[in-house]
Structure formats: C-alpha cells, structure tokens
Amino acid sequence: MKKIDLGLKASSQREQLRNRLSYKPNVFEFYTDENNFTTEGIKRLTEAILQVKEHGVKDIILHHPMRYRGEYTELVAPESQFKELNYFIDFSTNQLLQLSFDYGLQTLLHGSYSRHTEKMIALYPSFSEARDVVYQKLDKFAALGQSHIMFENSLSRLFYYGFEDEDNFILNKNYRLAFDLSHCFIKVNADNAKLCASLKRLKPNVVHYHLVDSMGLTHDSLPLGEGKINWENVLPLLNEKASSIFEIKLADENIATEQIASYRYLTDIYAKLNKRA
C-alpha cells in the first residue's frame, strides 16, 4: 500500500512558500499562471524551485497554467481562431519542461478542462476531429517531455478517466498520467466502484495523484472526509511509486490548513488499514 506523502501545493509567492515549507513536505506542486512566463516571472519561479529543493523536497511538480488572458489553456483550441492561446500553451510548456530537465522536476499538463471545451469542440467539423487534435498534441508533448511530463484527466468529453474504453485508449498511448480523483469521481457520477475500477486499470501508468474529495456533482475540491469518496477502498489501489499532493480548496491561499487536515485524515486511514493487515 502506498505510503502517504505530505504533498502540498502553492504558487511561487513568498508567503505561500514560507507556509508550505514550514510543514516540511516531501512533495511540492507549484501552481503557475501566465505571470510566471515573463523574464522576471521565470526568474522568480526558478528561485522558488531552488528554495524548495534546498529544503530537501525531492518530488517537485510544475502545474501548467490554467488560463491565458481569461481563456482556458485548452489543447482543443483551434489554432486558426486561437493563435495567441496556442502560442502561449507551446511556449509555457516548453519553459516548464526546460526547468524540469534542468532541475529534475515534473511538468503537469491538462489534457482538457471543461468550462469552455464544448464551445471549442463546436468549431470543428466533428467531435472525432477535435479529439484527434488533442491526442496529436498530447503525443507531441509526450515525445518532447519524455520522463518529465504527465497529463491530468478532465471533466470534459476529452481526456477523462473512469470509463473502460477511454481508459484503455489512454493506456495504449503509454502516457505518464496524473490522476485527479475528484475529476474522475465527478465524471462517473459519484460512483465509487467506477472510480476504483479506473484507479486499478490506470495504476501502472499513474505517476502522480491529486488527492481531493468531492460530492460528485461539481468541482467542489473538498477536504478528504467531507465528500463521498470511499478512501478506505481507494488507498490500496494507488500506485506505490507515484507521488501525490492534497489539492484542496483553501479558505486562505496563504495557509495550508485544509491540505494538512486532509493529510492527517488519510494517514489515520493508512494506520487503520495497516493494523487490519
């Protein structure tokens, strides 16, 4: 059974960094935004990465920015209508991968989101063509990033987990995967059996988990134990070699209270399951 990481997430802002590092995490995920990709922004991000490494954190993940100028960084965005967005996706991914290769980090890229996805799919002659474009881009980034890139599941009709056909298609691509449990749980309409089946199917290729609870209806990002995910069933299905963080909605972004509470909740379950074994 996978040992529980103290995995925390923050931006490169000084106050957030100070708070997270005070807990001595062994996994750290940087949330990046478009401001990290100016000359000064990259410099500040690099300094933050080095600060985290100096604290002995070995597993560091760089989460690709969710938005650019108010638009989601959707891989399905047609280049003809979203030229600047596509340029930014390529540029920012290349920047994060350069940092990942230079400092032994991981870059996390979303296969899709959900808010504006349908609007973009509608710009293609067919859903099939839109889907092909996404997988062509994922193939390109997988080849570029090699062992330094992973792809996270969405809530949309593109690059999601939870259904056997799609899971097997993704497995056959042999991508390195980031598994957001709440995204999958919402996608399967709060069905714990389907969530567990997907975790089991995709386990060999998962290198990182976002541990987060949900009621299974909306993207609520709840602390563990406050939603409907059955963590006692989930924990034995996680890949022991993968890293993980607690990606919880915080009351105050500068204080990791809900992330720490979720870590303690899961370590209690881990201890209980070990006692039974």
- The per-residue pLDDT for 115 is 87
- The per-residue pLDDT for 236 is 97
Using one digit for the tens of pLDDT, what is the confidence trace for 58-68? 999 999 999 99
Q: Alpha-carbon distance 193 to 232, whole Å? A: 12
Across the range 91-115, mean pLDDT stands at 97
> Is residue 43 pLDDT above 80, yes or no?
yes
Residues in the chain: 277
Q: How many CB atoms lie within 10 A of CB 23?
A: 12
> Is residue 155 pLDDT above 80, yes or no?
yes
Across the range 145-166, mean pLDDT stands at 98
Phi, psi angles (nearest 5°) of residue 238: -80, 145
- The per-residue pLDDT for 202 is 98
> Is residue 276 pLDDT above 90, yes or no?
no
Using one digit for the tens of pLDDT, what is the confidence trace for 237-262? 999 999 999 999 999 999 999 999 99
Using one digit for the tens of pLDDT, what is the confidence trace for 211-220? 999 999 999 9
Rounded percentage of the chain residues whose pLDDT exceeds 70: 100
Using one digit for the tens of pLDDT, what is the confidence trace for 221-243? 999 999 999 999 999 999 999 99
Beta carbons of 30 and 45 less than 8 angstroms apart? yes
- The per-residue pLDDT for 146 is 98
Query: What is the set of domains in the chain, with CATH numbers?
Result: 7-180+201-210+243-253 (3.20.20.150)
For the record, the structure tokens of 263 come out as 């870590």
Per the prediction, the chain carries an average pLDDT of: 97
Q: What is the dihedral of CA 167, 170, 171, 172, to 10 degrees?
A: 130
Rounded percentage of the chain residues whose pLDDT exceeds 90: 97
For the record, the structure tokens of 132 come out as 């092909």
Across the range 100-116, mean pLDDT stands at 96
Confidence band for 179, pLDDT divided at 50, 70 and 90? very high
